[in-house]
Amino acid sequence: MKLFMTGIGTEIGKTICSAILVQYFKAEYWKPVQSGDLHHTDSHKIAEWTDHAVCYPETYRLHLAASPHQSARTENIQIDLDCFQLPETENPLIVEGAGGLMVPLSDHRFMIDLIDLLNLPVALVVRNYLGCINHSLLSIMALQQRSIKLEYLILNGEFPIDTEKVICSFIEKETKIIRIPELTGTGKEHIKEAAQQLTITKL
């Protein structure tokens, strides 16, 4: 089982959801691009929040907390898709992207291109906010247009029933739904409890 974790935008809980899935599936973890916060990366957080997770080194570590293409440009670096190589492992693996599908890695390459290159199914993290329906459906459409499999739709937190109904009506029947309750914290105990309570269903 190998998954690419992406989201409908930034700051919607991708890393927390990645940690929960790492814990649930007893998976390893890889963040291909870390943009900013090099003193406390997403890999550091996964290691802190889960039980003995293996975290593979990032292909690109960029200092500026911005879009990867902008961060790379400030360091005179060009992000090259050919430099990314999926870690070789027989264990489950969670790969976490930066931001959403159309986050640019360069002027002409985007996160969705990296997903396509790695040939991984996707887990799409959705969080409730004004506009999340629009962002969710556009993300699902983008994956469908590229024939990228949406393995899991992750509903992170509480959702109005009408919002959830519209979003879930747009996915394929094969897509499984993961519901993650609202967390009261992000420590290891909270992540373990959420993993224990995680539910996976179908439409």
How high is the pLDDT of residue 110? Answer: 98
Q: How far is CA 24 from the centre of its chain?
A: 15
Q: Is 3.40.50.300 the CATH number for 2-201?
A: yes
| 32 in Cβ contact with 195 (< 8 Å) | no
Task: Choose among 139, 124, 132: nearest CA to 164.
Answer: 132
How high is the pLDDT of residue 187? Answer: 86
| Alpha carbons 140 and 151: distance in angstroms, whole number | 11
Residue 109's Cβ-count burial label (10 Å; 0-12, 13-18, 19+) is middle
Give the model confidence (pLDDT) of 4-49 as tens digits.
999 999 888 999 999 999 999 999 999 999 999 999 999 999 999 9
Alpha helices in the chain (DSSP H): 14-25, 42-49, 68-74, 111-118, 132-145, 161-168, 188-197
Amino acid at 24: Y
Task: Choose among 166, 165, 113: nearest CA to 143.
Answer: 113
Domain ranges within the chain, ordered by starting residue: 2-201
Positions at the binding site for substrate: 35
From the list 2, 26, 31, 173, the catalytic residue is 31
Residue 176 designated active-site: no
Give the model confidence (pLDDT) of 81-97 as tens digits.
999 999 999 999 999 99
CB under 8 Å to 82, separation ≥6 — which residues? none
Q: DSSP letter at 93? A: E
Strand 60-62 to 55-56 pairing:
unpaired
Positions at the binding site for Mg(2+): 15, 42, 96
Positions at the binding site: 11-16, 35, 42, 96-99
CB under 8 Å to 169, separation ≥6 — which residues? none
In the structure encoding, which two tokens stand for residue 140, read together?
A: 């699902």
What pTM was estimated for this model as a whole?
Answer: 0.95
Q: Please report which confidence band the pLDDT of residue 154 belongs to, taking 50, 70 and 90 as the band edges.
A: very high
> How many Å is the maximal CA-CA distance in the chain?
47
Positions at the binding site for ATP: 11-16, 42, 96-99
